[in-house]
């Protein structure tokens, strides 16, 4: 549900494709995310493609999370079970807070489209340095499902009853209080 009395607040969103085989010329999943976030009114803060390597994924995502112009990071790829799929291993240890509901909702939506094959995805999300980070599978369909059915609404200030944008100013409360994150 959208609140027409609220103004849209554009976010800076970085898109990372994790793949040993893709380039910008053939990155359909990254293209899908960029097209959708820009069509929604957000700004592409950065975009990159990195190999399936834990340290490279971590380095790129943590650098983006340290930037003031990046409010959210969306990764695509590396969430499966093959030996090269390491995106959850790269990101989950960095999460200050996990977003278990993201994975649950993503799997529910995915189940409606691909059935039990959804169990082959390890889609995940959480907070790193007060920045929302979402890891989607590497198919354009999974990126469409994740954006259209979850992220578009949650990254829109007008979405009711609640959304991520309205809590962004409060993500660092533990730092302002001098406490530590849980």
pTM: 0.94
Query: Taking the domains of the chain in order of start, what are their residue ranges?
Result: 12-174
Q: What is the pLDDT of residues 36-51, one digit of tens each?
A: 999 999 999 999 999 9
Q: What is the pLDDT of residues 153-181, one digit of tens each?
A: 999 999 999 999 999 998 887 766 665 54
Q: Are strands 43-50 and 12-18 parallel, antiparallel or unpaired?
A: parallel
Burial class (CB in 10 A: 0-12, 13-18, 19+), 117: exposed
Specify the fold of 12-174. Answer: Molybdenum Cofactor Biosythetic Enzyme; Chain A (3.40.980)
């Amino acid at each position: 549900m959208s609140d027409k009395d609220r103004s849209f607040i554009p976010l800076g969103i970085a898109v990372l494709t994790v793949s040993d085989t893709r380039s910008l010329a053939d990155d359909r999943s990254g293209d899908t995310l960029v097209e959708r976030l820009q069509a929604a009114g957000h700004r592409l803060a950065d975009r990159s493609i990195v190999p399936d390597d834990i340290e490279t994924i971590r380095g790129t995502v943590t650098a983006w999370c340290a930037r003031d112009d990046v409010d959210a990071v969306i990764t695509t790829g590396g969430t499966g079970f093959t030996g090269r799929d390491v995106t959850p291993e790269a990101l989950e240890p960095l999460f200050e807070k996990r977003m278990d509901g993201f994975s649950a909702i993503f799997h529910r939506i995915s189940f409606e489209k691909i059935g039990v094959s959804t169990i082959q995805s390890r889609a995940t999300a959480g907070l790193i340095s007060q920045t929302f980070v979402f890891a989607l599978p590497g198919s354009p369909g999974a990126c469409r499902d994740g954006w259209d059915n979850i992220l578009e609404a949650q990254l829109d200030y007008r979405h009711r009853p609640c959304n991520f944008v309205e809590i962004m100013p409060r993500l660092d409360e533990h730092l302002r209080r001098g406490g530590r994150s849980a």
